[in-house]
Chains A and B, each alone.
Chain A
Amino acid sequence: MLTCKQVSNALARKDYAAMSPLERLGLRIHIALCAVCGRYNRQVMIMQDAARAFRRRENAQIESSGACLSCCDKDAIKNAIRQRR
Chain B
Amino acid sequence: MPDLPPDASAAPPVADPDTWVDAYGDYLYRYALMRLRDPDAARDAVQETFLAAIKRYDQFDGRVDIKFWLRGILRFKVVDHIRASVRDQVVTPIEDTEILDSLLFRASGIPTMRPSPWEFNPQEAFDRAEFWPIFEECLDRLKEPIRQAFVLKMVEDLESDEVCKVLGITPNHLWVLNHRARTQLKKCLESKWQRK
Contacts and interface: CB of A to CB of B under 8 A. Distances in A.
Given A39-B115, A62-B31, A77 B47 contact: yes
Contacts of B171: 12
Given A14-B160, A50-B122, A77-B50, A36 B30 contact: no
Contact of A51 (B21, B54, B129, B155): B155
Contacts, number: 133
A47 B188 CA distance: 13
A30 to B, nearest CB: 11
Contact-residue size bin, chain A (C-beta under 8 Å from the other chain): 35 or more
- The prevalent SS among residues of B at the interface is helix
Contact-residue size bin, chain B (C-beta under 8 Å from the other chain): 35 or more
B54 to A, nearest CB: 6
B144 interface: no
17 contacts: A3-B108, A9-B109, A13-B159, A36-B113, A37-B113, A39-B113, A40-B112, A46-B118, A50-B135, A54-B135, A54-B136, A58-B31, A69-B21, A74-B22, A74-B25, A77-B21, A78-B18
A37 B110 CA distance: 7
Interface in B1-43: 17-18, 20-22, 25-27, 29-31, 33-34, 43
B96 to A, nearest CB: 14
Interface of A: 3-5, 7-9, 12-15, 35-37, 39-41, 43-44, 46-51, 53-55, 57-58, 60-63, 65, 67-69, 73-74, 76-78, 80-82, 84-85
A50 B115 contact: no
